[in-house]
Amino acid sequence: MNKGPMNSPKSRNEGAKDFEEKVVEIKRVSKTVKGGRKMSFTALVVIGNKQGKVGIALGKANEVKEAVRKGVEKARKTAITIQLKGNTISNEIDCKFKAAKIFLKPASEGTGLIAGGAVRVVLDLVGVKDILTKQRGSNCAMNNAYATYNALRSLNEQTKVMELRRSVSKQV
């Protein structure tokens, strides 16, 4: 079986050097089938390069190691780039994912990363060093991580809209 240049292990792991990965949560899940219960695992994985790029995904498999590997692969595909303003975000944002509500507010230099749980992991891997956050609603790690990811993604879209508005106003 001939492996092409894209399928060789060397080319697959080249992108692994620039991303740091953290497992936020591992859960054992079961499915009831005719013969009894079938156990498997889910792993919530966040990857980032601490320079504005972050990805998040859920991997599912019969073994923990395989679930983490699948999560990392999916997270690479969902990675987005965030425009940071120094060590913080450009403006405050409020975002909701299912029952989890996240509030992110930029902070002055030296404040630190004031966040907890999954929100802290996501913001740390993005590269944010100064920020104030608040979690409301749910304390589910998966929902809070996805809410933070969606907040950063919508923040990125807001900055693009603001740049377009500035360029249009300069032309007029």
* 91 and 69 part of one domain: no
The verdict on residue 156 lying in a domain is yes
**Which of 86, 82, 85, 56 is CA-nearest to residue 71?**
56
* 53 and 114 part of one domain: no
CATH number at residue 59: 3.30.160.20
Q: pLDDT band at residue 170, thresholds of 50, 70 and 90? A: confident
Q: How many CB atoms lie within 10 A of CB 129?
A: 18
Q: pLDDT band at residue 16, thresholds of 50, 70 and 90? A: low
> Burial letters for 101-116: b for 16+ Cβ neighbours within 10 Å, e otherwise?
bbbbbbbeeeeebebe
Q: What is the mean pLDDT of residues 153-157?
A: 87
The verdict on residue 129 lying in a domain is yes
What is the per-residue pLDDT across 95-125, written as a single tens digit (0 to 9) for each?
999 999 999 999 999 999 999 999 999 999 9
* 132 and 146 part of one domain: yes
Number of domains in the chain: 2
* 92 and 146 part of one domain: yes
Quick check: 9 pLDDT over 70?
no
Is the whole model's pTM more than 0.95, yes or no?
Answer: no
* 32 and 42 part of one domain: yes
**Which of 138, 120, 118 is CA-nearest to residue 129?**
120
